[in-house]
Structure 1
Amino acid sequence: MKKIKVFILLALALAAVSCSEEDLDSKSIFDTSSPERNAFETWILNNYTEPYNIDLKYRFEDIESDMKYNVTPAAYDKSVALAKLVKYLWIEAYEELVGQEFVATYCPKVLHFVGSPEYEKSGGSMVLGTAEGGLKITLFNVNGLNPENPDAETLNEWYFKTMHHEFAHILHQTKNYSTDFNTISAGKYTGPGWMNITDQEARQMGFVSNYASTETQEDFVETIAIYVTYTNAQWQSILNEAGEAGAAIILQKFEMVKEYLAESWGIDIDMLHNIVQEREENIGDLDLGTL
């Protein structure tokens, strides 16, 4: 019995040696070749991925979308136009103020374009944009963009207020703001009930928009996004709608936002506002079709 065991062990050892001495196939099972890129994808590589570490996805991938909604792919020409607008109005605005390294470090790593808004299958609500954990921002209704006549107010409503809003979330989740902000409107937040009040009603309560009344963090980032993307006249209109009491609360929040951005990130929100507004005035001069 012992001899049989010895023979078996010897056979296994010889088999192991013979296997280890076999020549391995030098060809990798993984495809290491560079993917074929069209002109737009090469432009994305040079203008988004390499300088800012952003993966811009414009081709439809169902795994990137919420299956609860019916959506359509983004058109090629509209995607080109929006990619150039995002670079000019958002990425380069921050880069002009705080530098390329800041943008590459803190910006979302995936930017996802979808052709239509997200419509619930039941025919209910419509979604303008989403963000996932500070890593990905999805912009909807790309096919609604008019590259021949881009309008700043429409661009802000559909795309850029969302971009600034979600980026502000990334910033405060990285370095939190003072909890003193949370006490300013304590007891006034509406939660899901924000949809049941108008912007004017919210402003009279001390919020820049009805969505800002959801909870403290949304209040904080909405204040940033609206101030940056709205013109001086539009911002003043918000304060006028708010009335004396509401405007005082909004301005108190704004001063805390301004202090936070300056002390935590070296961002002067007034300068950022001015940069964005100047760039928006020049969008008519952009060539949104040529790569």
Structure 2
Amino acid sequence: MKIKYFGFMLLLAASSALTSCSEDDLDPNSIFSTVDGNDEAKSPEYIEFDEWIMKNYTEPYNIRLQYLYNDKETDQSYNVVPADFDKSKGLAKLVKHMWVDTYAEAVSEEFIKTYTPRTIQLIGSYEWNGNGSQVLGTAEGGLKVMLYGVNFLDLDNPRVNTTDPYANKGAVPLDLNHWFFHTMHHEFCHILTQKKDYPTDFRAISAGRYHSTDWVNVKDIDSAKEGFVTGYASGEYNEDFAEVYSTYITMSQEGWNKIIDNAGAEGAAIIENKLSIVREYFYQSWGIDIDKLRTIVLRRSAEAEHLDLHSLN
């Protein structure tokens, strides 16, 4: 009864308002503006951020960075929350510096325009699977990348771990490599291999060793002995390939050596064999020298820790 009464009072108030204003000219322009398909009033800070995205993502690279929640862009089988506005701004600066500009510098701006996903959607929380694993990012058909966990970003303490692959992933402030940029390089690798497949020789290296159903139980520190750079890589060969690539280019030589040393002779030989195929694939298929790319990634990783993530300057 309370709901019906409330609705009736709203209707009555609306009728009175229309009657009292019936002789006035109505403004044909809506007081609401559209932000990424959502009707809401735009504040100056939203306008500023939209203009910054247009200047830094859309106009030069044809990328639409979407920070407002859009249920059409999300997987409805998960419950997630919108990304915080200020943290979205900070991550947008980081993604440009650490990912977009990295490939533009290492390869070319034309490469970014041609092959990067058309949409980057930011989500505040993580997607959780039934087996207890978290979804850190996804790439869909080369057209869209989803980045999760934006609301956990510490704008005052950006930290990029490039030296210890076995560091506590839950330590705060969050390791931006693990939670964002390793993920972005991993997903971009999937996009590129979907366009140009990698040699089938890679699939045979660890055939019969993959943990297709229980990879979530394989710890990173244990996976190297089996020839996998991370536990996630042990799931199947496509993830294995992308993990070798993303781990190598985001880890310093010190960090990579820890994986190799931990692997033992047999595991190290397998990992180095995989890296050789990954290195050759990127050079032959895309003209990318992953060692040159790695140098740029590491330099930008060091720079990222000094970026002002509170402003768009």
TM-score by length of 1: 0.84
**Match of 2:176, as an amino acid?**
L
1:152 equivalenced with 2:160 (yes/no): yes
Helix, strand or coil: the match of 1:219? helix
User: Corresponding residue for 1:113?
Assistant: 122
- Cα–Cα, structure 1 residues 123 and 102, in superposed 2: closer, same or farther, change >3 Å? closer
The Cα of 1:34 is off from its aligned counterpart by: 9.4
Determine which of 45, 65, 74 is the counterpart of 2:54: 45
Helix, strand or coil: the match of 2:65? strand
> How far, CA to CA, are the matches of 1:58 and 1:202 in structure 2?
35
Spell out the pairing of 1:111-260 with structure 2 (5 A cutoff): 111-119=120-128, 124-153=132-161, 154-260=175-281
User: Corresponding residue for 2:304?
Assistant: 283
**Match of 2:112, as an amino acid?**
V
> How far, CA to CA, are the matches of 1:243 and 1:261 in structure 2?
27
Helix, strand or coil: the match of 2:213? helix
> How far, CA to CA, are the matches of 1:104 and 1:217 in structure 2?
24
Q: Deviations over 1:66-96 (max 9, x none)?
A: 2222211111110000000000001111110
Helix, strand or coil: the match of 1:103? helix
TM-score by length of 2: 0.79
Helix, strand or coil: the match of 1:38? helix
- Unaligned segments of structure 2, at least 5 residues: 1-32, 36-41, 162-174
User: Corresponding residue for 2:110?
Assistant: 101
> How far, CA to CA, are the matches of 2:53 and 2:224 in structure 1?
40
User: Corresponding residue for 1:274?
Assistant: 295
Helix, strand or coil: the match of 2:50? helix
Helix, strand or coil: the match of 2:308? coil
Structure with bigger helix share is 1
The Cα of 1:201 is off from its aligned counterpart by: 2.7
Structure with higher Rg: it is 1
The Cα of 1:231 is off from its aligned counterpart by: 2.0
User: Corresponding residue for 2:84?
Assistant: 75
> How far, CA to CA, are the matches of 2:137 and 2:96 in structure 1?
17
Q: Deviations over 1:124-168 (max 9, x none)?
A: 543211221111111111011111110013101111111000101
User: Corresponding residue for 1:85?
Assistant: 94
> How far, CA to CA, are the matches of 1:192 and 1:89 in structure 2?
33
Helix, strand or coil: the match of 2:120? strand
- Give the aligned CA root-mean-square deviation in angstroms: 1.8
> How far, CA to CA, are the matches of 2:132 and 2:305 in structure 1?
35
User: Corresponding residue for 1:59?
Assistant: 68
Helix, strand or coil: the match of 1:112? strand
Q: Deviations over 1:210-238 (max 9, x none)?
A: 11111111111110000111122111111
Could you tell me whether the CA contact under 8 Å between 1:91 and 1:103 is conserved in 2? yes
User: Corresponding residue for 2:286?
Assistant: 265
> How far, CA to CA, are the matches of 2:134 and 2:223 in structure 1?
21
**Match of 1:38, as an amino acid?**
I
Helix, strand or coil: the match of 1:41? helix
**Match of 1:155, as an amino acid?**
L
The Cα of 1:175 is off from its aligned counterpart by: 1.1
Q: Deviations over 1:172-212 (max 9, x none)?
A: 11111111111111111121221122223321111111111
Helix, strand or coil: the match of 2:114? helix
Report percent identity of matched pairs.
50
User: Corresponding residue for 2:9?
Assistant: none
> How far, CA to CA, are the matches of 1:192 and 1:69 in structure 2?
21
**Match of 2:79, as an amino acid?**
N
- Unaligned segments of structure 1, at least 5 residues: 1-32
> How far, CA to CA, are the matches of 1:186 and 1:110 in structure 2?
35
The Cα of 1:283 is off from its aligned counterpart by: 1.4
- Cα–Cα, structure 1 residues 125 and 254, in superposed 2: closer, same or farther, change >3 Å? closer
> How far, CA to CA, are the matches of 2:80 and 2:157 in structure 1?
24
Could you tell me whether the CA contact under 8 Å between 1:71 and 1:119 is conserved in 2? no
Could you tell me whether the CA contact under 8 Å between 1:71 and 1:116 is conserved in 2? yes
Could you tell me whether the CA contact under 8 Å between 2:131 and 2:216 is conserved in 1? no
Helix, strand or coil: the match of 2:75? coil
- Cα–Cα, structure 1 residues 275 and 244, in superposed 2: closer, same or farther, change >3 Å? same
**Match of 1:96, as an amino acid?**
E
